[in-house]
């Protein structure tokens, strides 16, 4: 008899873990609160345009990278339509203060050579910095899909250094330091807190090549659900879990808003731990555990603008573009500063199936602290009041003004636009304080800022971004770990690597 899993949350973590467990012979029931599954993969349509909610840039999709290997193992690579960003520009960064634009090429050597050329006095330091970044990323076994025991004592001394200090320990030029930190919004970087290894992993991931889904990220959610359903599992969307009944540290059943009850051999939570505690009630976990986990600082949130262009007015650009008003702000992007808003943002023109010269849509993400919207925290979607709507409109227009400065005539190319705030993210994903990446990893308190897969509730495991790394690379890796907690340490990694060996043979990859 196959064991039955009840998955609470059908986001990236829930679907990857569900698909991996299905391959191991488990039957998985996924319970998702939103009408459409996917969490960060979910897309929505407005005025005929498809927009992504939480998956714009993909890392790990190049052959040999971890997500690519996992997708190959799951047999879904062929079902996905994604496109790599430009080889000569994985990203560009423009600084408002001096108008300079840097276009960063793909690959360790090219990336290092480009910045060494821009800052010749730092060429040797750049080389040393790059070597160390790659070394730190190599030290993380899971990131490289290797068996390994997490032991901070086996790492090099820079591993847990704050990322800003780490960069400064190699690079003297303050502008180059800033440029090297440009990906910090992709991992919620905070000066003095984000460990160097997180900076290293995300940088190596994207320097080796980034990608974008063609026609939206929902396709991955669909492909993963298909695996679960074909394996005998079920997916129920549009019905939040409202109660998890725990007796003597064992889950008895899970109850949804529509009054349905689900039982399983194991329960896995893909939701923010603080939200999980609300569903289990206080007695389920030891008080000390609840208090520690609830007090973990969350990563910052974001304000987003979604734009549909008039036909044939804005060029399609095949890489993300970053804007920063000045140098020196990158580690404090969430600090409230109405005068300088927007301090920085990232904007993309996601590709569509028949992508030609012109872009049909744009997404702009601007880091924002939840404190900006704290005064409306007790409101719900559609009922936040006129003051909030005026605040949102003002911030959206400030971002469009900045885009107009960068690309004169921009405003005239807009057909329609709308915005979302940290409250939208909080309510849509049910994530505390609208945190982009869940819990913040803090090198000042590494153990205190982490949660493990296993819990004191005997038949409950955790998955998703709050357990380990975030994003499209981190969450599938945690899914591997959660799966291995049930089927045996290292066994899934072995199968993924074996499947990739076959892939290499079939595709003549040396």
Positions in the binding site for ligand FAD (CB under 6 A): 8-14, 31-34, 39-40, 54-57, 240-241, 270-271, 275, 302, 304, 365, 425, 429-430, 436-437, 464-465, 470-472, 475
φ/ψ region of 75 (left if φ > 0, alpha if ψ in -120 to 50, else beta) reads left
Torsion sign across C-alpha atoms 17, 19, 20, 26: positive
Give whichever of 331 and 437 is closer to ligand FAD, judged by the CB atom.
Answer: 437
Q: Provide the minimum distance between the beta carbon of 38 and ligand FAD in the complex, in angstroms, as a whole number.
A: 6
Q: How far is CA 390 from CA 137, 323, 342, in A?
A: 44, 25, 16
Q: Provide the minimum distance between the beta carbon of 464 and ligand FAD in the complex, in angstroms, as a whole number.
A: 3
Q: Provide the minimum distance between the beta carbon of 260 and ligand FAD in the complex, in angstroms, as a whole number.
A: 12
Give whichever of 275 and 496 is closer to ligand FAD, judged by the CB atom.
Answer: 275
**HEC sequence for 326-355:** CCCCHHHCCCCCCCCCCCEEEEECCCCCCC
Tokens of 4: 């039955």
**Measured between alpha carbons, how far is 84 from 180 in angstroms, rounded to an integer?**
21
Measuring CA to CA, which residue among 280, 255, 269, 243 is closest to residue 18? 269
Say which residue the tokens 């153990």 belong to. Answer: 447
Give whichever of 207 and 241 is closer to ligand FAD, judged by the CB atom.
Answer: 241
Give whichever of 129 and 216 is closer to ligand FAD, judged by the CB atom.
Answer: 216
The three-class DSSP label of residue 160 is coil
Helix (H) or strand (E) holding 201: helix 196-207
**Measured between alpha carbons, how far is 59 from 292 in angstroms, rounded to an integer?**
31
Give whichever of 272 and 384 is closer to ligand FAD, judged by the CB atom.
Answer: 272
Give whichever of 8 and 115 is closer to ligand FAD, judged by the CB atom.
Answer: 8
Tokens of 151: 């032991």
Measuring CA to CA, which residue among 320, 316, 319, 321 is closest to residue 356? 316
Q: Provide the minimum distance between the beta carbon of 436 and ligand FAD in the complex, in angstroms, as a whole number.
A: 5
Torsion sign across C-alpha atoms 330, 335, 340, 345: positive
- Residues linked to residue 307 through DSSP beta bridges, in sequence order: 362, 417
**DSSP at 162:** B
Give whichever of 175 and 349 is closer to ligand FAD, judged by the CB atom.
Answer: 349
**Measured between alpha carbons, how far is 160 from 446 in angstroms, rounded to an integer?**
9
Tokens of 175: 């502008």
Measuring CA to CA, which residue among 207, 13, 45 is closest to residue 112? 207
Q: Provide the minimum distance between the beta carbon of 467 and ligand FAD in the complex, in angstroms, as a whole number.
A: 8
Measuring CA to CA, which residue among 41, 68, 37, 69 is closest to residue 53? 41
For ligand FAD, which residue has the nearest CB?
Answer: 11
Distance of CA 193 to the CA centre of its chain: 19
Q: Provide the minimum distance between the beta carbon of 213 and ligand FAD in the complex, in angstroms, as a whole number.
A: 10
Q: Provide the minimum distance between the beta carbon of 4 and ligand FAD in the complex, in angstroms, as a whole number.
A: 17
Give whichever of 9 and 195 is closer to ligand FAD, judged by the CB atom.
Answer: 9
Q: Provide the minimum distance between the beta carbon of 54 and ligand FAD in the complex, in angstroms, as a whole number.
A: 3
Give whichever of 116 and 212 is closer to ligand FAD, judged by the CB atom.
Answer: 212
Give whichever of 403 and 472 is closer to ligand FAD, judged by the CB atom.
Answer: 472
What is the DSSP annotation of 259-319?
A: S-EE--SEEEE-S-HHHHHHHH-GGGS-HHHHHHHHTSPBPPEEEEEEEEEPTT-EE--SS
Tokens of 417: 């636009």
Give whichever of 49 and 173 is closer to ligand FAD, judged by the CB atom.
Answer: 49
């Amino acid at each position: 008899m196959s064991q039955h899993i009840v998955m609470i949350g059908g986001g990236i973590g829930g679907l990857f873990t569900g698909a991996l467990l299905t391959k191991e012979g488990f039957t998985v029931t996924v319970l998702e609160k939103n009408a459409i599954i996917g969490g960060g993969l979910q897309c929505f349509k407005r005025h005929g345009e498809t927009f992504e909610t939480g998956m714009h840039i993909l890392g790990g999709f190049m052959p040999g990278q971890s997500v690519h290997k996992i997708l190959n193992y799951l047999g879904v690579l062929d079902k996905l339509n994604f496109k790599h960003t430009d080889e000569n520009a994985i990203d560009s960064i423009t600084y408002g203060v001096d108008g300079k634009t840097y276009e960063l090429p793909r690959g360790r050597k090219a990336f290092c050579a480009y910045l060494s050329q821009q800052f010749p006095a730092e060429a040797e330091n750049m080389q040393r910095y790059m070597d160390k970044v790659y070394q730190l990323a190599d030290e993380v076994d899971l990131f490289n899909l290797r068996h390994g025991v997490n032991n901070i004592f086996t790492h090099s001394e820079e591993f847990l250094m704050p990322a800003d200090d780490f960069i400064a320990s190699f690079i003297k030029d303050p502008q180059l330091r800033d440029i090297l930190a440009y990906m910090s919004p992709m991992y919620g970087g905070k000066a003095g807190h984000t460990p160097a290894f997180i900076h290293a992993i995300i940088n190596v991931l994207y320097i080796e090549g980034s990608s974008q889904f063609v026609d939206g990220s929902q396709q991955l959610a669909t492909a993963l659900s298909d695996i679960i359903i074909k394996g005998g599992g079920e997916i129920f969307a549009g019905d939040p879990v409202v109660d998890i009944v725990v007796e003597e540290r064992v889950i008895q059943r899970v109850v949804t808003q529509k009054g349905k009850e689900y039982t399983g051999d194991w329960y896995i939570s893909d939701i923010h731990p603080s939200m999980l505690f609300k569903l289990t009630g206080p007695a389920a976990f030891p008080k000390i555990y609840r208090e520690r986990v609830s007090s973990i600082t969350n990563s910052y949130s974001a304000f987003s603008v979604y734009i549909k262009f008039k036909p044939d007015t804005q060029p399609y650009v095949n890489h993300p573009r970053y804007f920063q008003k000045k140098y020196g702000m990158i580690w404090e992007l969430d600090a409230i500063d109405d005068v300088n808003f927007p301090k920085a943002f990232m904007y993309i023109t996601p590709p569509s199936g028949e992508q030609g010269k012109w872009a049909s849509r744009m997404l702009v993400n601007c880091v924002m602290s939840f404190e900006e919207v704290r005064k409306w925290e007790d409101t719900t979607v559609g009922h936040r009041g006129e003051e909030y709507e005026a605040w949102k409109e003002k911030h959206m227009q400030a971002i469009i003004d900045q885009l107009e400065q960068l690309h004169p005539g921009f405003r005239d190319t807009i057909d329609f636009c709308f915005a979302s705030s940290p409250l939208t993210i909080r309510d849509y994903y049910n994530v505390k304080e609208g945190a982009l990446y869940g819990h913040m990893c803090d090198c000042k308190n590494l153990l205190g800022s982490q949660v493990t897969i296993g819990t004191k509730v005997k038949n409950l495991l955790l998955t998703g971004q709050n357990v380990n790394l975030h994003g499209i690379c981190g969450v599938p890796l945690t899914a591997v770990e959660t799966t291995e907690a049930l089927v045996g340490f290292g066994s899934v990694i072995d199968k993924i690597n074996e499947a990739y060996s076959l892939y290499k043979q079939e595709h003549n990859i040396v």
